[in-house]
Structure 1
Amino acid sequence: MHRIGYFLTDGFQVMALGTQSVFEFANVVAKEEIYQITNYSILGGEIRSSVGATVKTQQASSETLADTWMVSGIVDPSAHKTSDDELKFVKATAGGARRTAGLCTGAFVLAQAGLLEGRRVTTHWAYAELLKAQFPNTRVESDHIFINDGSIWTSAGLSAAMDLALGIIEKDLGEAIANKVARVLVMYHRRSGGQSQHSQMLEIAPRSDRIQVTLDYARSNLSGALTVENLAKVAHLSERQFSRIFYSETGLSPAKAVEKLRIETARNMVERGHHSLEIIARETGFRDRRHLREVFIRKLGVTPQSLRREAK
Structure 2
Amino acid sequence: MISANRSARAIGILIFDGFQLLDAAGPISVFEMPSRGLSPAPYSLTVYSLTGGAVRASSGVQMHSEKLPAGLTLDTLIVSGGEGTRAAMADAAMLSAIRDLSDRTRRTCSVCSGSFLLAAAGLLDGRRATTHWRRSEGFQRLFPAIKLDADRIYVRDGKYWTSAGITAGIDLSLALVADDLGDDAAQAAARELVVHHRRHGGQSQFSVMQDLKLASGRFDALIGWIRTNLADDINVETMAERAGMSARNFARVFRAETGTTPARLVEKLRLEAARQYAETTALSIQQVAEKTGFSDPERMRVAFVKAYGQPPMVLRRQRQAS
**TM-score when scaled to structure 1?**
0.81
The CA deviation string for residues 104-161 of structure 1, in whole angstroms up to 9 with x for no partner, is 1100111111111111111111112221121111111122111111010111122111
What is aligned with 2:9?
A: 2
What is aligned with 1:236?
A: 249
Equivalent positions of 1:6-21 (< 5 A) are: 6-15=13-22, 16-21=24-29
Distance 1:62 1:212 in 2: 47
The code of the aligned residue for 1:143 comes to: D
What is aligned with 2:3?
A: none
Any unmatched runs of 5+ in structure 2?
Answer: 1-7
Contact 2:89-2:95 within 8 A present in 1 as well:
no
The code of the aligned residue for 1:52 comes to: G
The farther-off stretch of 78-87 and 38-47 is 78-87
Equivalent positions of 1:33-72 (< 5 A) are: 33-72=41-80
Distance 1:168 1:30 in 2: 18
Find 2:106's aligned residue among 85, 98, 111.
Answer: 98
CA 1:252–1:33 in 2, change beyond 3 Å: closer, same or farther? closer
Equivalent positions of 1:204-223 (< 5 A) are: 204-207=212-215
Distance 2:63 2:172 in 1: 22
Matched, 1:156 2:169: no
The Cα of 1:90 is off from its aligned counterpart by 0.4
The Cα of 1:48 is off from its aligned counterpart by 1.1
Superposition CA RMSD, Å: 3.6
Find 2:33's aligned residue among 25, 28, 33.
Answer: 25
Distance 2:305 2:125 in 1: 31
The Cα of 1:291 is off from its aligned counterpart by 3.4
Distance 1:30 1:176 in 2: 16
Find 2:195's aligned residue among 183, 187, 193.
Answer: 187
Distance 2:165 2:292 in 1: 27
What is aligned with 1:169?
A: 177
The Cα of 1:258 is off from its aligned counterpart by 4.8
Distance 2:226 2:42 in 1: 41
The Cα of 1:34 is off from its aligned counterpart by 2.0
Contact 2:20-2:82 within 8 A present in 1 as well:
yes
Distance 1:217 1:177 in 2: 20
The DSSP-based 3-state class of the residue aligned with 2:72 is: coil
Contact 1:29-1:181 within 8 A present in 2 as well:
no
Any unmatched runs of 5+ in structure 1?
Answer: none
What is aligned with 1:110?
A: 118
Matched, 1:203 2:211: yes
Contact 1:191-1:272 within 8 A present in 2 as well:
no
Distance 2:280 2:205 in 1: 16
The DSSP-based 3-state class of the residue aligned with 1:36 is: strand
Contact 1:206-1:212 within 8 A present in 2 as well:
no
Distance 1:107 1:181 in 2: 25
The DSSP-based 3-state class of the residue aligned with 1:67 is: strand
The farther-off stretch of 217-226 and 179-188 is 217-226
